[in-house]
Amino acid sequence: MDELPIGRRVAYWRGRRKMSQQVFADRLGKSKSWVDKVERGVRRLDKFSVVYEIADVLQVDVQLLLGKDVERRPETQNCIDQVEVEEIRAALERYDQMSAFFQAVPHSPPLAEMRKAVSHAWLTYQHAKYGVLARTLPKLLRDAQAADSAYATGAEAKEAAHLLGQVYQIASSALRKVGEHELSWLAADRSIAVSQRAGDQLLAGLASFRVGSALLALGRVRPALEVNVNIANRLAPVHEPAHKGERLSVYGMLLLNGAMAAARIGDSATVRDLLCGAEQASLELGGDFNHYWTSFGPTNVLLHRCAAAVELGDGRGAVDTHEKIDVVGFNSLLPERRAHHFLDIARGYTQIGNIEKASEMLLEGDRLAPSEIRCRPLAHEVLSDVLRRTRGTPPAPIAELAEQMGVGV
């Protein structure tokens, strides 16, 4: 789309926003005729101030209007491409909440609708439908921000804040998957503040987990370890607390995330302690559940044992643990978690030189949740390693996957 004149790009984004020329003109304070002439290229946009105003109304980064967007390729339809990243960035860069400090927000979606939309977004993420999620996230962010502003006081204020905190966490997780780590950190950090306003310690704890994940992805390993362990200590289960299952799940995930950070710096003793703590929490929980969208339980603890072993360079230990995982428990987990594990264990197999099994794990993950394999930079690195270490011509399924992912054979 970067070859198009700016007027055509304006028309394209106006169409994606489902605005008529008249509505668009009204929001700009221009005439419909002016908009029509701009879109047809009859009238030039030679003032940056006007371009920025148009970008603001269309809720896109101004660079997209100036031709900096990326054409979506067929093989990335189910991933988050740069156009969608910029739309999410634009939604995060808006500070409309400040307007509510000065005057009432004119429009806000009903909270009942927001609850359904947020629940659907969580399921979309946990089924690894990242492309679908990316196309809904910008609007969901704007709607959740508007609801949080509109219901800033009164009985519904905490629920509105809770929903916005969840949306920030969904955005953080999705952005981290595709390598947008700074944006992931920003969204997670926003969730911490909003979650405190919601008055929910567990949501704030989960926001800390997202912050820890983003910091770890940024290479800020020790801060990642500290935030996970510190908040876990504050959420440590007490005797007969309210929402015990939810509390155990968030507490356990913080310990697991801390273990991954400790593994990154080679601190095997801390890894062992944190994994043991998470295992005890999972046994007390009594099974695999999805409380607070954590997928926490004994099976997920084993998956993290594998992942931590891989980070420590112990491919043999990772594979041995993988072979002990209960199939029924594993298959009960949501697709994102299982496909993520296949990627981790593919790395484990490469560490012990079993390239054939590593290839099988990548293909298994791709069959289960293609976006988890095809969209993640880490998966591209693992596949490149597999191809480099394959003797002779790669098997047809791996060669085909490499072609579809744009990884050179």
Q: Chain-wide mean pLDDT for the chain?
A: 90
pLDDT tens digits for range 168-193: 999 999 999 988 999 999 999 999 99
Kindly state the average pLDDT of the residues 16-29.
85
Check residue 219 and give its pLDDT: 95
- CB atoms under 10 Å from CB of 29, counted, come to 9
Residue 66: what pLDDT? 78
Which parts of 286-334 fold into alpha helices (H)?
A: 298-311, 315-322, 327-331
Confidence tier at 200 by pLDDT (50, 70, 90): very high
Mention the CATH class of domain 1-69: mainly alpha
Mean local confidence (pLDDT), 224-228:
98
What digits encode the pLDDT tens for the residues 307-325?
999 999 999 999 999 999 9
* pLDDT tops 60 at residue 141: yes
Lowest mean pLDDT among 44-48, 105-109, 325-329, 385-389: 105-109
Domain boundaries, the chain: 1-69, 78-216, 220-333
How high is the pLDDT of residue 243?
Answer: 80
Of the two residues 152 and 70, the one the predictor is more confident about is: 152
Band of pLDDT at residue 232, cut at 50, 70 and 90: very high
Radius of gyration of the chain from Cα atoms?
23
Burial grade of 275 (CB within 10 A; 0-12, 13-18, 19 or more): buried
Residue 72 pLDDT more than 60?
Answer: no
Residue 1 has pLDDT above 70, yes or no: no
Per-residue pLDDT band for 97 (boundaries 50, 70, 90) equals low
Residue 76, phi then psi, degrees to nearest 5: -105, 15
pLDDT score, position 402: 93
Q: What is the DSSP letter of 393?
A: S
Better pLDDT: 237 or 365: 365
Amino acid at 216: L
Length of the chain: 409
pLDDT the model gives residue 69 = 47
Give pLDDT, residue 220: 97
- At 96 the pLDDT is 60
Digit-coded pLDDT (tens) for 268-290: 999 999 999 999 999 999 999 99
Q: What is the mean pLDDT of residues 60-66?
A: 75
- Supply the pLDDT for residue 216: 97
pLDDT higher than 90, residue 213: yes
Please give the span between the terminal C-alpha atoms of the chain, in angstroms, as a whole number: 29
Instruction: Render the burial of 347-365: b for 16+ CB within 10 Å, e for the rest.
Output: bbbbbeebbebbbbbbbbb
Position 70 scores a pLDDT of 43
- Asked if residue 75 has pLDDT above 50, the reply is no
Query: Which tops the pLDDT comparison, 164 or 98?
Result: 164
- Report which of residues 289 and 109 the model is more confident about: 289
217: closest CA among 194, 196, 188, 191?
Answer: 188
Task: Give residue 409's pLDDT.
Answer: 59
96-100, 207-211, 248-252: the lowest-pLDDT one? 96-100
Task: Please report the pLDDT score of residue 68 as a whole number.
Answer: 61
Overall pTM > 0.85: no
Instruction: Give the per-residue pLDDT at 80.
Output: 82
Q: Over 80: is that where the pLDDT of 17 sits?
A: no
Calpha distance 198→204 (Å, rounded): 9
**Is residue 406 pLDDT above 90, yes or no?**
no
**pLDDT for 163:** 97
Model pLDDT, residue 289? 96
